[in-house]
């Protein structure tokens, strides 16, 4: 059986809410732009940020190469047992909470989010954390753990961090089905092949730190309508999961998750949010994306002990939010930037 809801975009409740939302947002945005011109941007108190904004947000042409990866057509899923596994894997990734959430029918081991909340269109979207090159690039030595990691372990990591939950049985039918689907998604992709849009977009660094205060204003005008006053999202009526997933709080990803690095979050948001945005049709400036990411990742969320992460500090990402680091820059600067000085210092050292 194919899923009856191919993508969330066709969800009528959501799109009508979105339309209502956009109307409200348009109104709010109009109001806010008036107040901005009158009293400057919130929390900055200077005019410098405005000139920086134009500088960092010079529109560069966004184009998708003709040979860019596209998710294979579900009509090409084979019949028989293998095809069943692929379809089951897709279902689990799209509706993870139904099976593994707080009311999960298979196990109650995660926070109520779906893998698809961040791996959009069941991992089929450009710049939406797609699965195109996942299987072909594993097993590989993880920079974070320093260990050789097989695909099932990488899946388990997203359960533990992004779904702030527990490791599922990696030999069980469910994880195997997810792997079957991910392998099918990567059909024809070779190890080491460079793919356009297979991870979050790396937004250019700003020459100043991302500002949670300004991000809060972005959140209020462009995100709150779906993700809630307190980032708590909107649950399904039977509370088996979310229509709009939480961005912070007890039921969101923990601080060991990939999204807790603001470069990942900003790149994701720029290309995918508000829901419906794409690489070719982004809704936020780079600066808005960095700031809203800084705001979201300043809010409370579950903590994960990360003492054993990043054994090798030389490969630790510059925006890893917790020390120790291989350099003398503060945790604050590693979390919010400015990042360029850190990059330059690292380059000089090596
Ligand atoms: C129209 C409703 C809507 C608006 C507005 C919206 N989102 Fe989302 N957002 C969604 C939906 C729906 C998903 C889950 C997508 C899926 O499962 O396919 C999502 C997922 C996310 C995720 C990944 C999952 C999670 O919970 O962490 C992030 C991060 C996110 N949104 C951030 C934002 C930000 C920042 C804004 C404002 C700039 C925003 N969203 C505006 C509907 C919305
Ligand atoms: C809150 C957002 C979020 C959710 C929910 C989430 N992931 Fe992820 N996942 C990410 C991000 C961001 C990355 C890439 C950055 C990184 O490696 O940390 C990633 C990376 C991965 C990768 C590695 C991809 C590659 O090409 O190396 C796999 C596989 C994966 N996730 C599977 C899952 C599965 C399975 C689930 C559900 C059980 C899930 N993720 C839920 C955010 C999320």
Q: For 143-179, what is each residue's pLDDT tens digit?
A: 999 999 999 999 999 999 999 999 999 999 999 999 9
- Give the pLDDT of residue 50: 34
Q: How far apart are CA 233 and CA 258, in angstroms?
A: 19
- Give the pLDDT of residue 3: 36
Q: Which residues, in sequence order, are CB contacts of 204 under 8 Å at separation 6+?
A: 56, 286
User: SS3 for 279-336, per residue?
Assistant: CCCCCCCHHHHHHHHHHHCCCCCCCCCCCCCCCCHHHCCCCCCCCCCCCCCCHHHHHH
151 CA closest ligand 2 atom index: 29
253 CA closest ligand 2 atom index: 1
110 CA closest ligand 2 atom index: 38
- Give the pLDDT of residue 38: 33
| Cα 231 to ligand 2 centroid, rounded to whole Å | 20
138 CA closest ligand 2 atom index: 27
- Give the pLDDT of residue 350: 78
- Give the pLDDT of residue 58: 54
Question: CA 55 → CA 60, 69, 139, 162, 286, distances in Å?
Answer: 11, 31, 41, 34, 11
Domain 1-309 fold is Cytochrome Bc1 Complex; Chain D, domain 2 (1.10.760)
Its pTM stands at 0.87
Classified as helix, coil or strand, 273 is coil
Short-list 52, 53, 102, 74, CA closest to 4? 74
| Cα 121 to ligand 2 centroid, rounded to whole Å | 13
Confidence of residue 32 (pLDDT cuts 50, 70, 90): very low
Q: How far apart are CA 50 and CA 39, in angstroms?
A: 13
Which ligand has the shortest distance to the CA of 120? 1
| Angle, CA of 299, 304 and 305, to the nearest 5° | 130
Which residue's CA is the closest to the ligand 1 atom numbered 33? 273
Among 124, 140, 157, 158, say which to mutate for ligand 2: greatest number of ligand atoms within 8 Å of CB. 158
Q: Which residues, in sequence order, are CB contacts of 78 under 8 Å at separation 6+?
A: 86
Cis peptide before 71 (omega within 30 of 0): no
- Give the pLDDT of residue 59: 63
Among 22, 29, 101, 117, say which to mutate for ligand 1: greatest number of ligand atoms within 8 Å of CB. 117
Cis peptide before 274 (omega within 30 of 0): yes
Confidence of residue 4 (pLDDT cuts 50, 70, 90): very low
- Give the pLDDT of residue 12: 38
| Cα 275 to ligand 1 centroid, rounded to whole Å | 6
| Cα 344 to ligand 1 centroid, rounded to whole Å | 33
Q: Which residues, in sequence order, are CB contacts of 96 under 8 Å at separation 6+?
A: 110, 113, 114, 115, 116, 163, 241
* Residues pairing with 149 in the sheet: 140
- Give the pLDDT of residue 120: 98
| Cα 269 to ligand 2 centroid, rounded to whole Å | 15
- Give the pLDDT of residue 238: 94
| Angle, CA of 329, 333 and 334, to the nearest 5° | 80
Q: Write down the domain spans for the chain.
A: 1-309, 313-349
Average pLDDT, the chain: 87
């Amino acid at each position: 059986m194919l899923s009856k809801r191919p993508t969330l975009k066709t969800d009528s409740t959501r799109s009508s809410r979105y339309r209502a939302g956009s109307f409200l947002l348009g109104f709010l945005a109009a109001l806010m732009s008036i107040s901005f011109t009158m009293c400057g941007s919130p929390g900055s108190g200077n005019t410098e940020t405005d000139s920086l904004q134009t500088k960092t947000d010079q529109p560069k042409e966004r184009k998708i190469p003709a040979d860019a990866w596209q998710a294979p057509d579900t009509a090409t899923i084979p019949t028989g047992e293998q095809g069943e596994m692929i379809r089951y894997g897709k279902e689990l990734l799209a509706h993870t909470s139904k099976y593994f959430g707080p009311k999960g029918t298979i196990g109650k081991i995660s926070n109520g989010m779906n893998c698809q909340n961040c791996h959009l269109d069941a991992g089929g979207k450009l710049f939406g954390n797609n699965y195109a090159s996942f299987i072909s690039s594993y097993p590989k030595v993880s920079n974070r753990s320093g260990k050789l990691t097989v695909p099932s372990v990488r899946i388990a990591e997203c359960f533990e961090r992004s779904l702030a939950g527990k490791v599922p049985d990696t030999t069980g039918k469910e994880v195997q089905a997810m792997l079957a689907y991910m392998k099918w998604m990567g059909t024809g992709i070779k190890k080491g092949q460079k793919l356009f849009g297979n991870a979050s977009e790396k937004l250019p660094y700003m020459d100043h730190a991302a500002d949670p205060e300004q991000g809060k204003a972005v959140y209020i005008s462009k995100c709150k309508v779906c993700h809630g006053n307190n980032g708590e999202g909107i649950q399904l009526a039977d509370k088996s999961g979310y229509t709009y997933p939480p961005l912070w709080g007890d039921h969101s990803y923990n601080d060991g998750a990939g999204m807790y690095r603001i470069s990942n979050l900003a790149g994701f948001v720029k290309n995918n949010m508000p829901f419906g945005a794409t690489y070719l049709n982004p809704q936020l400036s780079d600066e808005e994306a960095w700031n809203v990411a800084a705001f979201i990742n300043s809010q409370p969320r579950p903590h994960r002990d990360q003492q054993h992460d990043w054994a090798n500090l030389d490969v630790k990402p510059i925006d890893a939010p917790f020390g120790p680091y291989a350099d003398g820059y503060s945790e604050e600067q590693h979390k919010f930037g400015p990042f360029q000085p850190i990059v330059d210092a690292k380059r000089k050292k090596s």
